[in-house]
Amino acid sequence: DQQVKQNSPSLSVQEGRISILNCDYTNSMFDYFLWYKKYPAEGPTFLISISSIKDKNEDGRFTVFLNKSAKHLSLHIVPSQPGDSAVYFCAASDSGTYKYIFGTGTRLKVLA
């Protein structure tokens, strides 16, 4: 049973527009969430995180929103750039366990 779900396997967006990637989780014990970005033939790299005590965290063009009641988080990229084309994974953790559960990823393609 997938505890972290990314229901959109792929997303295409025009350069300059907003990209919204979604992630849902089922375990109410999760209290820390991260987004990773992965290019082909490379390992995932950390992008942005959010703790359950917040509902929004922003870092430059990237903003993560957390809706605890809906067990839903989203990553917004504004404006989207061709270099953002990659696979994005969300991950969730119960911070007492050091263990992350990853979603299946969403492939973002930003069209020039």
The one among 20, 62, 65, 102 contacting other proteins by CB under 8 A: 102
Selected from 49, 55, 57, 85, the binder of other proteins by CB under 8 A is 49
Calpha distance 103→101 (Å, rounded): 7
Whether residue 82 is preceded by a cis peptide bond, meaning omega within 30 degrees of 0, is no
β-partners of residue 24 are 5, 72
Closest approach of Cβ 83 to other proteins, in Å? 19
- What residues contact 72, with CB distance under 8 A and at least 6 apart? 22, 23, 24, 25, 66
Nearest distance from C-beta of residue 92 to other proteins, angstroms: 9
- Minimal distance, residue 109 CB to other proteins, in Å: 17
Between 1 and 69, CB nearer to other proteins: 1
> For residue 5, how far is the Cα from the chain centroid?
10
Q: Provide, rounded to whole angstroms, the least separation between the CB of residue 44 and other proteins.
A: 5
Residues that bind other proteins (CB under 8 A): 6, 31-32, 34, 36, 41-46, 49, 51, 89, 91, 93, 95-105
